[in-house]
Amino acid sequence: MVPTLTLSESVQRGVAAIWSLQETVADDLREALEAAYPLSLDDDLSEQVASTVDTLARSEIEEIVSALSRLSGIASGGYVPLDDLCRGVYETMRNSEDNALVLSESEQAPFRGRLKSLMSTRSIHLWGRARLVFTEHERFEAEFAALAERWLADTAHVSSLPRIVVHPAYQQIIGMGRDALAPILRWMREGRPGYWFWALETIARETPVTAEMGGRIKEMKRAWIAWGEERGLV
């Protein structure tokens, strides 16, 4: 099944650059990508490739690597077979207004083969998985921030604590589970407003707040932040 894809302009440029490569340069690029593995996520994959492939500009290598890792992330995240993904990429490029890529029947198979070959390298697979993880993390952080902002806006003039903590957005944050602990604690450490103690205790199922603190908010915040630091959450 050919997937329907939405590709950014930079990804489309990277794909177009891949097709425009001379065969020997494409082979050198694949060898450089394969040789870069294993690598850590702190490494600069484009820099490693550029040190080997001197027939391409660094900017072009960065665009190609970015496009390949993005496409690999789509394949991994959506469990899309590479053959189907490559067909989807071509259909998207063929219908693009800015980066149209129209190939003859005899050219389409080599195009898909080159794209698949480069995406199959282990370094790109790793980079694609990392991009997927980072994207999911960014999506989670954005969802948390949107819920927190809505909760704060809707309860800004509410004095009743029970009404504050039963707000739907607050309850949705609690429903995020332990993944919500880190962003909550960061908000507290940054001095942002919000009565987070109920959510923290509900999610963590424990509390560092002692009876001796007597409801002193600053001490309670310090206790929770220290609790989070001990567990590597902040």
Q: What is the pLDDT of residue 92?
A: 85
Confidence at 229, pLDDT banded by 50, 70, 90: very high
**Model pLDDT for residues 5-64, shown as the tens digit of each residue:** 778 888 888 999 999 999 999 999 999 999 988 877 667 888 889 999 989 999 999 999
Query: Using CA atoms, how far apart are residues 61 and 65, in angstroms rounded to an integer?
Result: 6
Angle between helices 23-35 and 105-119 (to 10 degrees): 20
The CA distances from residue 92 to 86, 125, 190, 208, in Å, are: 10, 22, 43, 54
Three-state SS for 76-137 is HHHCCCHHHHHHHHHHHHHCCCCCCCCCCHHHHHHHHHHHHHHHCCHHHHHHHHHHHHHHHH
Global confidence as pTM: 0.55
Report residue 165's pLDDT band, with 50, 70 and 90 as the boundaries: very high
Q: What is the per-residue pLDDT for 222?
A: 93
Q: Above 90 in pLDDT, residue 170?
A: yes
Q: Of the segments 75-79, 95-99, 141-145, 199-203, which one has the largest average pLDDT value?
A: 199-203
pLDDT reading at 127 higher than 80: no
Tell me the pLDDT band of 2, cut-offs 50, 70 and 90.
low
- Largest Cα separation within the chain, whole Å, is 78
Taking a C-beta distance cutoff of 8 angstroms, is the pair 64, 30 a contact? no
> Residue 190 and residue 198: Cα distance in Å, rounded?
18
Q: How far is residue 167's CA from residue 149's CA, in Å, rounded to a whole number?
A: 12
Non-local (6+) Cβ contacts of 95 within 8 A are: none
**Percentage of residues in the chain having pLDDT higher than 90:** 38
Q: Where are the domains positioned within the chain?
A: 9-120, 138-230
